[in-house]
Amino acid sequence: MDDPQNIPGSGVPEEFVDPGCDHEPALHAEPPVELTGESTAPIVPQQRPAEDRQAAIAAYEDAALRRRGFRHNLFLLLSLALAAFILTSWILVRLDAPFGFFSSGPQEIVRAQLRALDRGELRPAYDMFSPRYRGQVSFDTWHELFVTHWRMFHADVVRSETPAYEGPGVTLEIYLHGADDKDYRAHFTLIRTEGRWWIDDVHWTQEADEHDFSRT
Q: Where are the beta strands (DSSP E) in the chain?
A: 155-160, 164-166, 169-178, 183-193, 196-206, 212-214
Q: Compute the distance between CA of residue 204 and CA of residue 179 in angstroms, rounded to an integer.
A: 14
DSSP, res 103: -
User: Is 184:207 a contact under the CB 8 Å cutoff?
Assistant: yes
Q: How far apart are the first and last CA of the chain?
A: 188
Give the pLDDT score at 97. 46
16-30, 69-83, 144-158: least confidently modelled range? 16-30
Mean pLDDT of the chain: 75
Give the SS3 label for residue 212. Answer: strand
State pLDDT tens for residues 127-155. Answer: 999 999 999 999 999 999 999 988 888 88
Report the predicted TM-score, pTM, of the whole model to 2 decimal places: 0.50
DSSP, res 129: B
